Amino acid sequence: MQKQPTSYKELGLVNSRDLFAKAVKGGYAIPAYNFNNLEQLQAIIMACVETKSPVILQVSKGARNYANQTLLRNLARGAVEYAEELGTPIPIVLHLDHGDSFELCKDCIETGFSSVMIDGSHLSYEDNVALTCKVVEYAHQHDVTVEGELGVLAGVEDEVASETHTYTQPEEVEDFVTKTGVDSLAIAIGTSHGAYKFKPGEDPKIRLDILEEIEKRIPGFPIVLHGSSSVPQDLVATINEHGGKLKDAIGISEDQLREASKSAVCKINIDSDGRLAMTAAVRKVLDEKPEEFDPRKYLGPARDSLKELYKHKIINVLGSDGKA
Ligand SMILES: O=C(CO)COP(=O)(O)O
Ligand SMILES: O=C[C@H](O)COP(=O)(O)O
Ligand SMILES: [Zn+2]
Ligand SMILES: [Zn+2]
């Protein structure tokens, strides 16, 4: 069977343009939560409906490979209806996280995504501009919004390990957003992917001074922060109390993210904290009830814990509650 092109508008999804404009003005950030399976999607939608928050559903290349991109896409299609069923329609963006080629972005745009990231941050500046331009040109024909990236996050990014940060250079941002026409810009100011963002003894600070400098160059332009998990220590402890071995897992403090949310940072990406919440809950159930073998009995509590974590982020860190 031939895959039928679908516009996100037919699915009731929205692109990120208006949401970002409101978030920048209102001094809050929209949660960008990754999902790979049913329980994660349920937790995201339940949390956002209960807090009346807009949401960006993120699908990575890894998620597409894990869950099968057709199944995943069709799960996401149900999200709009599901939110209405839960009682509150909320704006939902379906976003490709870390797109690494024009072809992948095009495929997502043709199959109902309302937003894509083209991550050319590992390329030379000129090649990043060229690739991003190509994606923007195609995406905008379909009213799909595009996130570009300047600077490289430390840690594991796109399966490429980079030991050190290459912070975004404020001198480049104006030229990049003008030349490419991107709708938002992901920057590197010391956040990183995964649960091991800092080493013990390091000062776990992000460079809010660079963010400020960037904002001066492109006032009001929507900024995105990747790698923004805080790695809650109670979750790490629960995991380790129930057989896990997560040593020295350290994240970004919620205080700094709260500060960033008030600026032009209007999208904050959180995935690892959700992974920790689910893992802690699953480990606890299986450890305390070794007789249990119904997946609903451990995935259910994992989903509940994930929902609470996501609500906490919305209300206490991002400030997007009530903004749907
Ligand atoms: O940036 C992310 C997804 O693109 C997620 O970051 P974390 O690993 O800090 O959750
Ligand atoms: O930025 C990375 C996201 O956390 C997605 O991770 P993944 O590539 O393992 O799905
Ligand atoms: Zn990148
Ligand atoms: Zn990321």
- Tell me the per-residue pLDDT of 56-73, one tens digit each, with 9 for 90 and over: 999 999 999 999 999 998
pLDDT of residue 276: 98
The residue extents of the domains of the chain are: 10-318
CA 193 to ligand 1: nearest atom = 8
If one residue of 33, 153, 156, 193 were mutated to test the ligand 2 pocket, choosing by the most ligand atoms within 8 A of its CB, it would be 193
ipTM of the modeled complex: 0.98
Fold of domain 10-318: TIM Barrel (3.20.20)
pLDDT bin (cut points 50, 70, 90) of residue 163 is low
177 close to ligand 2 (CB < 6 Angstrom): no
Can you tell me the mean pLDDT for 307-321?
A: 98
- Taking CA atoms, 185 is separated from 38, 77, 80, 155, in Å, by 29, 26, 26, 20
**Looking at the annotation, which residues are catalytic?**
97
CA distances from 77 to 8, 81, 93, 121, 210 (A): 9, 8, 11, 30, 38
pTM comes to 0.96
Q: pLDDT over 90 for what percent of the chain?
A: 91
pLDDT exceeds 60 at position 145: yes
- Residue 290's Cβ-count burial label (10 Å; 0-12, 13-18, 19+) is exposed
- Cβ atoms of residues 57 and 41 within 8 Å: yes
Residues 148 and 182: beta-carbon distance below 8 Å:
yes
Closest Cα to atom 3, ligand 1: which residue? 269
Closest ligand to the CA of 97 = 1
Q: What are phi and psi of 149, to 5 degrees?
A: -140, 140
**Annotated binding-site residue? 193:** yes
User: Residue 158 has what pLDDT?
Assistant: 46
pLDDT value at 203 more than 90: no
